[in-house]
A and B are shown apart, each in its own frame.
Chain A
């Protein structure tokens, strides 16, 4: 079955430190990959997406992610954490094209940013 694994349900970093949130997917077919962020009491907002173009994808708020097919990974990074980055982050995959495209989500990683 297709699945997404996010390593670490909680990640804590200091303000200004590197943020690294890990995501691995299981599939023999290259998927579309996404990172979403969820702030408290809000919906999900798209940070970035990979759709088989460049393997290094830049998103909003200074985040980027690199697709590594050999490692079936799509880790999210940000060089310098800001207090406003504290939120829950979800990695998701989609295998449908055209009019399908349902998302399969990882369990989420809560990012804590310490002053």
Chain B
């Protein structure tokens, strides 16, 4: 158990819909990272938040957005979903100078 929790574990939805994925970091970790894992793209960095502020952006689509709340949990919002958005979405948390610890992931299926 990494100490990072993600909900829900599985999500099945239809094209055009909007979903929210939730991540709770390890206690004391201020940084949260979001990654997407798909068969064709592999593991890709999406976005990072540090103590409520966006710090780095990767290959994140404009239809996707994220935020980190004062209690440090983070949410990844995916809208206007397409079939190609089906993937595993991981969040990871990190304290300054440390390594990233990954959550179990949310498997999103878009039908």
A-B contacts, 14 listed (Cβ < 8 Å): A34-B99, A42-B104, A43-B102, A43-B103, A44-B92, A44-B102, A49-B99, A90-B43, A99-B31, A100-B48, A100-B56, A102-B33, A102-B45, A103-B35
Q: Which residue of B has the minimal Cβ distance to A49?
A: B99
Q: Which residue of B has the minimal Cβ distance to A102?
A: B45
Give the chain A neighbours of B97 by CB distance below 8 A. Answer: 97-98
Number of interface residues of A (CB under 8 A): 22
Give the chain A neighbours of B43 by CB distance below 8 A. Answer: 90, 103, 105, 108
Number of interface residues of B (CB under 8 A): 27
The interface bits of chain B over 35-53 (1 if a CB of A lies within 8 angstroms of the residue's CB, else 0) are: 1000000111100101000
Residue A101 at the chain B interface, CB threshold 8 Å: yes
Which residues of B line the A interface, CB within 8 A? 2, 4, 30-31, 33, 35, 42-45, 48, 50, 55-56, 58, 90, 92, 94, 96-97, 99-105
The interface bits of chain A over 53-72 (1 if a CB of B lies within 8 angstroms of the residue's CB, else 0) are: 00000000000000000000
Contact A101 B102 (CB under 8 A): no
Query: Of the candidates A44, A49, A100, which one forms a contact with B90 in the assembled complex, judged by CB atoms under 8 Å apart?
Result: A44
Give the chain B neighbours of A97 by CB distance below 8 A. Answer: 97
Q: Describe A's contact surface by its main secondary structure.
A: loop
CB distance from B29 to the nearest CB of A (A): 11
Contact B42 A43 (CB under 8 A): no
Contact A43 B48 (CB under 8 A): no
Q: Which residue of A has the minimal Cβ distance to B94?
A: A101
Contact A96 B102 (CB under 8 A): no
Contact A102 B102 (CB under 8 A): no
